[in-house]
Amino acid sequence: MCNIENNIKKNLQQVLSEIDETCANCERDRASVQLLAVSKTKPEQMIEAAYLNGQKLFGENYVQEGINKIKYFNENHPTWDIEWHFIGPLQSNKTRVVAESFAWVHSIERLKIAKRLNDQRPSTMDKLNVLIQVNTSHEESKSGVNLNELAELVDQVSLLPNLNLKGIMSIPEATDDYNEQLAAFEKLNSALKELQIDHPEMSILSMGMSGDIKAAIKANSNILRIGSAIFGERDYSNNK
Q: Which residues would be at the binding site for ligand PLP (CB under 6 A)?
A: 38, 40, 61, 87, 171, 209-211, 225-229
Nearer Cβ to ligand PLP, position 15 or 196? 15
Q: Are 224 and 34 in contact (CB under 8 A)?
A: yes
Nearer Cβ to ligand PLP, position 117 or 119? 117
Nearer Cβ to ligand PLP, position 5 or 211? 211
SS3 of residue 69 by DSSP: helix
Q: Phi and psi dihedrals of 215, rounded to 5?
A: -65, -40
Minimum distance, C-beta of residue 209 to ligand PLP, in the bound complex (Å)? 4
Minimum distance, C-beta of residue 89 to ligand PLP, in the bound complex (Å)? 9
Residue nearest to ligand PLP (CB): 227
DSSP secondary-structure letter at 173? Answer: P
> DSSP per residue over 117-157, as a string?
HHHHS-TTSPPEEEEEEEE-S--TTS-SEEHHHHHHHHHHH
Q: Are 111 and 131 in contact (CB under 8 A)?
A: no
Among residues 147, 98, 129, the alpha carbon closest in space to that of 36 is found at 129
Among residues 163, 129, 130, 170, the alpha carbon closest in space to that of 146 is found at 170
Minimum distance, C-beta of residue 87 to ligand PLP, in the bound complex (Å)? 4
Minimum distance, C-beta of residue 230 to ligand PLP, in the bound complex (Å)? 8
Nearer Cβ to ligand PLP, position 143 or 162? 143
Name beta bridge partners: 59: 38, 85
Nearer Cβ to ligand PLP, position 37 or 165? 37
Nearer Cβ to ligand PLP, position 101 or 107? 107
Nearer Cβ to ligand PLP, position 191 or 226? 226
Minimum distance, C-beta of residue 228 to ligand PLP, in the bound complex (Å)? 3
How far apart are the C-alpha atoms of 211 and 199, rounded to whole Å? 31
Other C-beta atoms within 10 Å of 193: how many? 12
Minimum distance, C-beta of residue 168 to ligand PLP, in the bound complex (Å)? 13
Q: Are 134 and 153 in contact (CB under 8 A)?
A: no
Minimum distance, C-beta of residue 59 to ligand PLP, in the bound complex (Å)? 7
